[in-house]
Amino acid sequence: MYEDKTLRCKDCGKEFVFTAGEQEFYASKGFENEPQRCKECRDAKKAATRQQRKTYKAVCDACGGEATVPFEPTEGRPVYCSECFEKMKAN
């Protein structure tokens, strides 16, 4: 049903292949637009976004250790370090 397509990256201009498998995945997720960037440019954009995020230091409510979180902690809302958060998520 799907066939590989060659697309051009809007950032670097390099051609890249939008595979039949990727097209099927996009359709299953309800995405209507084709990718506009090659994998390298998508990865670079994600990395740049991650670097721009501000982080905050807090004290973990579970273990008392230091926690670094991507939101400003507010009084009355618990904050957990990554390890405690993963443990709570698993339960």
Q: Are 12 and 45 in the same domain? A: yes
CA distance 79 to 60: 5
Q: Are 27 and 45 in the same domain? A: yes
Q: Would you say 69 and 58 are in contact if contact means Cβ atoms under 8 Å apart?
A: yes
Q: Are 46 and 78 in the same domain? A: no
Q: What is the pTM of this model?
A: 0.55
Domain that holds residue 17: 5-52
Q: Are 43 and 14 in the same domain? A: yes
> What is the number of structural domains in the chain?
2
Residues 6+ apart with CB under 8 A from 83: 63, 65
Opening angle at CA 63, ends 62 and 67, nearest 5: 90
Q: Are 35 and 62 in the same domain? A: no
User: Quick one: pLDDT at residue 57?
Assistant: 92
Q: Are 31 and 67 in the same domain? A: no
pLDDT, tens digit (0-9, with 9 covering 90-100), for 14-64: 999 999 999 999 999 999 999 999 999 999 999 887 777 788 999 999 999
Q: Would you say 67 and 58 are in contact if contact means Cβ atoms under 8 Å apart?
A: yes
Q: Are 47 and 16 in the same domain? A: yes
